[in-house]
Chains A and B, each alone.
Chain A
Amino acid sequence: MERGTSRTVAEKLDAADPLAGFRDRFVITDPELIYLDGNSLGRLPAATPDHLREVVEGGWGGGLVRSWQNWIDWGSRLGARLADHVLGARAGEVVVCDSTSINLYKLAAAALDAAPRRSTVLIDAEDFPTNRYILQGLAAQRGLRLHQLTSDLDDGLQGEQLRSALDQDVALVVLSLVSYRSGALLDMAAVNELARAVGARVLWDLSHAAGAVPVELAATGAELAVGCTYKYLNGGPGSPAYLYVRRELQAQLRQPVWGWFGQREQFQMGAEYDPVPSIERFLVSTPPLLSLAAIDPALALVEEAGVERIRAKGLLLGRLVTDLADDWLGPLGFRSASPHLPERRGSHVSLYHPDAWRICQALATEAKVVCDYRVPDRLRIGPSPLYTRFTEVWDAMDRLREVATRRNYVSRPADLTRVT
């Protein structure tokens, strides 16, 4: 990539972008507005409204209860597509259901049950809170030791830190492949290998990775994973999550929320819980079908574009952000809060600024650039490759520079809103 801060660089990248056409497959109502928050909530795919209308009016309204004949295995079918195109998993290893938090609970508890003689759980103290809270709850209930590793806020967890914390007492390691705050990308194969050496299992949270970076669950020997579908997969607000369990492990594990969707011959209504041997044993209950349905057209776009191409573009977008930040923003009080090498990041970049919250607000309201703020003082910039242009990133960084230079933001309230 040509290094330089002129807009022409971005224009050239757009002209050469093989994914440029995908932008039109999303609903873009205000071309002036630059949306760099697809890592939190992906944009609406253009095909989604019609698909949902058909499910509501044809499936629910017209077919009524009979439509369940068709709907009943949507979670498995979407899981198979995710496995194949996004997660590098094999058939029958992924299913879509519940929220990420609930899936994390199910798989963590299942793994802990399977390792009764080990009493330590390793997590990253800087991981997304829901993961920490769920594991705190499990550890407290079972009297396990929760060992919280303090990873570097900007650079992520270091291999050495992990290695020295791993021993024969560790039952489970829970980590995000891409950090929600810094974007630091871990080496999945290396972590799996380290854990395997001491007989510990790793449960991966792929929320900020899936659909942004290639994930190779099968090839890296990963055993357990969960993640959400509303970020780079564009499934819509609160769309159901997925879970992955390595095939060889499935029959040995039992998740703790024994619902009828995991039952053999579910409609026999048998009195004893007797889970199916396949990945569906990790299901619990009736899926929220409209939220589930929205994943279908969204996933089709990722499949068509291919994660390799998405990643290639994501690397260039990230480079553009950091190059411009390096050149323009240092004197304005910013510094990078992400790993320096693009290969060591997911698709978002974080910038430190003591006034990040107010700048984030000012950017959105005065400059029509939407990114987000993460405590304590980070601005998170997430250009989702499927629909973000290089020139948008350039313009966004230019507007950020302007907002930071003008310093109007200092008159904004410093209090955080409820939802950030």
Chain B
Amino acid sequence: MSDALLRRAEELDGDDRLAKIRDRFALDTSPDRPAGAAEVYLDGNSLGALPHGVAARLQDVVEREWGRLRIRSWDESGWWTAPERVGDRIAPLIGAAPGQVVVGDSTSVNVFKALVAAVRMAPDGRDEVLVDAATFPTDGYIAESAARMTGCTVRPVAAVDMAAEVGPRTAVALVNHVDYRTGRLHDLPGTTAAAHAAGALVVWDLCHSAGALPVRLDEHGVDLAVGCTYKYLNGGPGSPAYLYIRRDLQPRFDSPLPGWNSHTDPFGMRPHYAPADGVLRGRVGTPEILSMLALDAALEAWDGVAIEDVRHKSLALTDFFLECVAELVPDGLVESITPAEHALRGSQVSLRCRGAGEVMAALIERGVVGDFRRPDVLRFGFTPLYTRYVDALRAADTLADVLR
């Protein structure tokens, strides 16, 4: 490892305004690793690390709220309203004013709700759903099923061409804000504006952007958005997803899943479905309380953190990692498929490399955890709340070792 790079890394860590936030996470706790050899975890874009407060909060939810208060907790512990409350806690991270985000169910299920509702809201006669051609697969499958259900056809279009391709037949476009494989950041303001100009709606999948960079949903007039909470938001394995419904669209949001939790009078057991006002029309059945309140506790890690600082550090970390890779890894062994330009980069670096599957296994063996995406991509996620510059250096250095 080069001394100069190590000094740089230490300097950058010393100047890092977010450095202290790492203490909010249960990292470096593995008993079978000697101190100082803590793992470098660069897979927080798949499953975020565990924030310290979560275990205690979950224990309280389980032992006191469930164990002692039992059924009373639906009211007294605020379980019933948790989907909206936790939604409002996520809202500032994605540039949404209160009352437009609801939490519950998975990302896939929320993509389904959003797409079907979008087609139902689109002007008459539109029969096409555009889907980001490189989309994460579940979004693509869901788009197919939503289209089939609403009598539309799906047309895959590269995310970068989406703005040019939305047309008079387009009901809705489904776009990933950041591509899960390449880490490319797509143009949310431009694509949204183009869709609106063509009379179409847009659904943004924020899985790989929320918590990694500013997402200005309200400012850019985004219609609908969904995202998962177990990546950069650190909500825990399979923590429930969120759905954003822009306020003025809420009265027209017609869910394909009209469960009783979205009813205006859920306990009235009324004969007919009458959706509630507001974003809670995005709800379906009884919320998964333990997972949802673990997420609620995890979001405390964001207290006092400015998303602009996160973005600044994310770019600096990924820049530094790319620099270390360029310096340490022999030429020609890896190729970055993540855009170098800041405006086009999310918070991960994807490197193509031969035998990527085995390379990643060897990295993990040596305490550098990223992930492998077929056929040949090494994915390194940089989560600014707890990733250090020395981690970026160690990852690059270990990669160089493995490849040599």
Contact = CB atoms under 8 A, between A and B. Distances in A.
A233 interface: no
A30 B68 CA distance: 8
A369 to B, nearest CB: 12
Contacts of B257: 101-102, 105, 134, 137
B137 A260 contact: yes
Interface stretch (A124-132, A215-223, A402-410): A124-132
A54 B147 CA distance: 42
B267 A290 contact: no
B290 A290 contact: yes
Contacts of B270: 129
Nearest to A284: B108
A257 B142 CA distance: 6
A261 B137 CA distance: 10
B237 A419 contact: no
B interface residue count range (under 10 / 10 to 19 / 20 to 34 / 35 or more)? 35 or more
B141 A273 contact: yes
Given A238-B286, A418-B80, A136 B269 contact: no
A259 B106 contact: yes
Contacts of A48: 62
A101 B138 contact: no
B108 A257 contact: yes
Contacts of A285: 106-109, 138
Nearest to B46: A65
B285 interface: yes
A22 interface: no
Interface residues of A, number: 82
B71 interface: yes
A11 to B, nearest CB: 26
A123 B109 CA distance: 25
A263 B288 CA distance: 24
Contacts of A263: 137, 141
A338 interface: no
A41 interface: yes
Interface in A191-218: none
Interface string B139-158: 01110110011000000100
Interface string B271-304: 1110000000000111111111010000000000
Contacts of A148: 271
Contacts of A161: none
Contacts of B272: 136
A130 B259 contact: yes
Contact of A420 (B144, B267, B285, B287): B267
B87 to A, nearest CB: 16
Given A29-B68, A102-B259, A102-B285, A292 B238 contact: yes
Given A35-B70, A417-B75, A68 B237 contact: yes
Contacts of A418: 75, 80, 267
Contact of B286 (A99, A256, A286): A99
B267 A237 contact: no
Contacts of B255: 137
A44 B271 CA distance: 33
Given A289-B238, A290-B294, A100 B285 contact: yes
A263 B237 CA distance: 20
A43 interface: yes
B293 to A, nearest CB: 9
A339 interface: no
Interface in A104-131: 105, 125, 128-130
A416 B266 CA distance: 12
B347 to A, nearest CB: 16
A65 B371 contact: yes
A370 to B, nearest CB: 6
A57 B138 CA distance: 29
Contacts of B273: 132-133, 136-137
A101 B289 contact: no
B30 A62 contact: yes
Interface stretch (A169-177, A264-272, A325-333, A345-353): A264-272
Contacts of B289: 236-238, 291
A413 B156 CA distance: 58
Nearest to B79: A237
B70 A370 contact: yes
B50 A102 contact: no
Contact of A44 (B58, B62, B72): B62
Output the residue of A57, A101, A261 with the most chain B CB within 10 A: A101
A146 to B, nearest CB: 11
A71 B108 contact: no
Which of B46, B47, B59 is the most central at the interface, judged by chain A CB atoms within 10 Å of its CB? B47
Interface-centre pick from A65, A374, A375 (highest chain B CB count, 10 A) = A65
Contact of A64 (B41, B63, B268): B41
A101 B374 contact: no
B55 A53 contact: yes
Interface string B62-74: 1100111011111
Nearest to B143: A258
B137 A269 contact: yes
B92 interface: no
A375 B142 contact: no
Contacts of A390: none
B145 A290 contact: no
B263 A372 contact: no
Interface string A90-101: 000000001111
Nearest to B364: A66
Interface in B107-146: 107-109, 112, 136-138, 140-142, 144-145
Interface string B144-179: 110011000000100000000000000000000000
B205 interface: no
B50 A56 contact: yes
B228 interface: yes
Contact of B67 (A44, A71, A102, A136): A44
Interface in B206-233: 228, 230
Given A27-B68, A101-B259, A257-B112, 10 more contacts: A27-B67, A53-B55, A102-B285, A256-B148, A257-B145, A261-B108, A269-B137, A273-B145, A288-B292, A291-B290
6 contacts: A37-B70, A48-B62, A53-B55, A60-B47, A238-B79, A288-B240
Interface of B: 26, 29-30, 41, 43, 46-47, 49-50, 54-55, 58-59, 62-63, 66-68, 70-75, 79-80, 105-109, 112, 136-138, 140-142, 144-145, 148-149, 156, 228, 230, 236-240, 255-261, 263, 266-273, 284-292, 294, 364, 369, 371, 373-374
Report the 6 A-B pairs with minimum CB-CB distance, sorted nearest first: A99-B285, A101-B285, A101-B259, A288-B291, A285-B106, A237-B289
